[in-house]
Structure 1
Amino acid sequence: MFPAFLGHHMSGASLRQVTHYGQSIRFGTFSRFHYGHIQNLYTYGRVDPPPYNLNLVTARSYLHYGLGDLETDYRDILLLEELLPNARAIQVPRPGFHHIDFIWSMDAREQVYETALQMMREAERLQ
């Protein structure tokens, strides 16, 4: 399994992506990239970057999360559920379910995949 793991494991991120992520944490917003007030004024026509309008995201979204996830805080998932108009947050039943478990756990099928497939089939019927 090691070659498959290496072929599908996280491939990294750019410095700008990491900076943008840090800006979201620092400013407590979900906004476009903050270049600094002068560059923001030039780029966006305002001193602060505009927030993303999540009301424009109309696709039905299911946000699965595990309470043992150290990379993604469940409170962020619940906040995103509130901000997206058609989102539903679903807690994975196993309390210690971790970020990497979504892919590599021996019980991922029972914990996540079966529910996700059922939701996809449901969504297909509604179209």
Structure 2
Amino acid sequence: MKIFGEILRELRTKRNISQPELADALGINNRVSISNYENGKAEPKYEDLLKIAEYFNVTVDYLLGRENAEKYYFDKTKTVPEEEKKIENFLKETEALIREKSNMSEEELKHIKTFMEFIVRKKD
């Protein structure tokens, strides 16, 4: 299981963000904090942990090494704002449709997921 510092460094470097840039973006006054987090010398306060999760669009559980982010992670840095809005609207509408029919079986939900994966992969 990865530790928080490793996960933070991986997320930050994947996006080519420096430690000072990340500290500024998160509103963390002490820029050394990011380095200390990544090197396991310090742990973030609860509020900072939430800011980090929101910034990278992952769950706190993922940051703590407790779950696989791939099922939740959507890299917002790879989209333009208009595209992001389209995706967010689509996700909201899809969720509303699924919740409307709350008695869907596991098999029906699996079919929906499989179809969506097919469409996404077809685009690539």
Normalised by the length of structure 2, the TM-score is 0.29
Bigger relative CO (Cα 8 Å, ≥ 6 apart): 2
Q: When you count helix as a share of all residues, which structure comes out higher?
A: 2
Q: When you count strand as a share of all residues, which structure comes out higher?
A: 1
